[in-house]
Structure 1
Amino acid sequence: MSRIGRKPINIPAGVDAKFENGVMTVKGPKGTLTQKVHKNMIIKIENGVITVERPNDDKENRSLHGLTRSLIANMIEGVTNGFKKQLEVNGVGYRVQKKGKDLVMNLGFSHQVIVSDTDDITIEAPTPNLIIISGADKQKVGQFAAEVREKRPPEPYKGKGIKYADEVIRRKEGKAGKGGKK
C-alpha cells in the first residue's frame, strides 16, 4: 500500500472541500482551486479529514493513489498558506523592478524584458536582485518561475543570470590551461 496515499489529509479551519462528479474543489482564504480526479480513485470527506483510497492493487491504481493524495494535499496547503518561489538575479547591470502589475527586468539585452502578473500569481521585487513569485496553485507558481528563469538562465562561467534562491550553479574554469600542442 502506498505510504503517501494512506495518509489522511486534515482540513484546516476556514477551508471548504467538496468532491462532486470527479472534481475536487477546495476553497480557502487564498482562493479556490479545482482538480479533476481519476475515476478509479475513491475520495472520502468525513469529520474534517480527506482520505484517498483505491479499488484494487493494479499498477495504474497504485501509481495514481499517492499522486491523487499529494495533489489534494497541495491544494489545501495552497489555499491556506500559498506557495512561493524566490529567484535571484546575478550580474553586473542586471536588475529588476516592479512597475504597477509589470516586472521590468534589465538582463543585458538591448531591450527590457517585461513580465506581467496574472490573476492567480503575484510578483514582488523587494530588492533590485530578488524576485518573489507567489500564488495558491503549486504547479502554476513553479511553471511561472521557470518561465521567468528562462528569460536569462544562469551561465556556468561567471554565474550571471536568473537562478532559484536555493539553486547551486556548477562553475566551470574557462580557458585556463594554454599548454596546447607544439
Structure 2
Amino acid sequence: MSRIGKLPVQVPAGVDVTIDGRTVAVKGPKGSLSHTVAAPIDVAKGEDGSIVVSRPNDERKNKALHGLSRTLVANMVTGVTQGYVKKLEISGVGYRVLAKGSNLEFSLGYSHPILIEAPEGITFKVENPTHFSVEGIDKQKVGEVAANIRKLRKPDPYKAKGVKYEGEVIRRKVGKAGK
C-alpha cells in the first residue's frame, strides 16, 4: 500500500480542503466530509494545492495506514465532486421495489413488504420495479447500504433469484439430476 500513499491527492477547482491537526475536512459542490487520520500518519497541503500524506517510518503497520489514509482522503475528494453510485437489480417472479418518498419498499417473496429508510446523506433512485441505485458522497456508506439491501435476499445459486449488484456474475449450480 505504501506506493499508493506516496502519490499526492489532486484537489480539483471548487473543492476546499481544511487540515486541522489529524482531521481532514473536504467541502465541494455535492457536500462536505471529514475524516480523522490514524495516529502515526501526517497530512499536509502541497505547494500546488494537492494533499500530501506521509508516514514517520517504514514499519509494516505504518505502510498499511499510509496507503489507507491516502485512499480515504482521495475518496472524500471524489465523493464531494462526483459522488458514488451503486446500481442493484432484482430478479425473480413477483420481486420488485417501489419508491415511497425517500424510502424503498421491497417485495421479495416474504409474507410482508420490507421498508428501507434512507440514512442521512444517501438517496435512492428507482429506474423501474427491478432496477434501482443507491447514491451518496460517502463511498463507505453507499457500499454499506447497498450491501445491507442485497442481504435482504441474496441471489440463490440455482435460479439466481434475489437482489444483486449490476454486472455481478452469480455462480450457478446444476441442481438435482432427476430420473
Q: Could you state the TM-score of these two structures normalised by the residue count of structure 1?
A: 0.94
Which residue of structure 1 lines up, in the alignment, with residue 6 of structure 2? 6
Residue in 2 aligned with 1:75?
76
CA drift of 1:83 comes to: 0.5
State the distance in 2 between where 1:128 and 1:151 align: 16
What is the DSSP-based 3-state SS (H/G/I as helix, E as strand, rest coil) of the residue aligned with 1:168?
A: coil
Q: 1:98-117 maps to which residues of 2 (within 5 A)?
A: 98-117=99-118
Cα deviations by residue, 1:33-52 (Å, 9 ceiling, x for unpaired): 11110121121113321111
Q: 1: CA distance between counterparts of 2:136 and 2:145?
A: 10
Higher alpha-carbon Rg: 1
Give unmatched runs, 5+ long, in structure 2: none
- Establish whether residue 32 from structure 1 lines up as the match of residue 26 from structure 2: no
- Report how far residue 27 of structure 1 moved: 0.7
Q: Secondary structure at the match of 2:116?
A: strand
User: Identity over aligned residues, as a percent?
Assistant: 50
Give, in whole Å, the separation in 1 of the partners of 2:66 and 2:22.
15
Q: Which amino acid aligns with 1:89?
A: I
- Map 1:1-182 onto structure 2 (within 5 A): 2-46=2-46, 47-178=48-179
Cα shift readout 1:113-162 (whole Å, capped 9, x = no counterpart)? 11112220001111110110010000000000000001111001111000
For structure 1, the 5+ residue unaligned runs are: none
Deviation at 1:177, TM superposition (A): 5.0
SS at match of 1:10: coil
Q: Please give the alpha-carbon distance, in whole angstroms, between the structure 2 residues aligned to 1:165 and 1:92.
A: 18
One-letter identity of the residue aligned with 1:74 = N
Shift of residue 71 of structure 1?
0.5
SS of equivalent to 2:110: coil
Residues in 2 aligned to 1:79 and 1:172: alpha-carbon distance in whole angstroms? 42
Q: Distance in 1 between matches of 2:6 and 2:43?
A: 12
Equivalent pairs counted in the alignment come to 178
Deviation readout 1:50-80 (Å, 9 max, x if unpaired) = 1111111112211111111000000000000
Larger mean Cα displacement after TM superposition, 129-138 or 55-64? 55-64
| Aligned-CA RMSD value | 1.2
Question: What's the offset of the Cα at 1:21?
Answer: 2.6
Structure 1 segments, 4+ long, off by >3 Å, are none
